[in-house]
Structure 1
């Protein structure tokens, strides 16, 4: 995991220097996922926030890429006990995932809201 973490961070920096925002956001999101899985929450949050800022600012962001980044951030918020923020994020990702036929967000919304 250490090597993967470093490779994703290095890749993000290369894409950043190449002025490729969508590839930068994609690799930042994967790095954030690894940090989340390793319970390095502060760094994970920082990377998710940066990836989401890039995705939200770019008009060509694929909805599924945005949804996947939001999903990771929602899982992080669940892990930290911030149920209200996690629920808001899952609701946001739900619309994006429904376009792609992915049902995970509906299940998470039900669990977090008691529905």
Structure 2
């Protein structure tokens, strides 16, 4: 199980703590593999970009007009976090519903 996020993100830390068998992949340092990113975009669409983040608000209009996958590759911290890969299934975000769904897949 992989958790794609940021090592200093509180939400990612909560997910990592609740899922002790998971490995955190820091998207700033390591990026997200293209195949995983493509699958995540196919599954979640534009919800993959966190438009409520500070990073998003700091982007200029030109950057915001980029396709989501290009934007995430250029600025990984704009991705909604965490992105959790369990086998071939992906989950986005962290709340009680996501936690219950991920736990049921283990």
Give the strand-richer structure, 1 or 2: 2
Fold shared per TM-score above 0.5: no
TM-score by length of 1: 0.29
- Work out which structure has the larger RCO, using CA pairs closer than 8 Å and 6 or more positions apart in sequence: 2
Which of 1 and 2 has greater Rg?
Answer: 1
TM-score, normalised by the number of residues in structure 2? 0.31
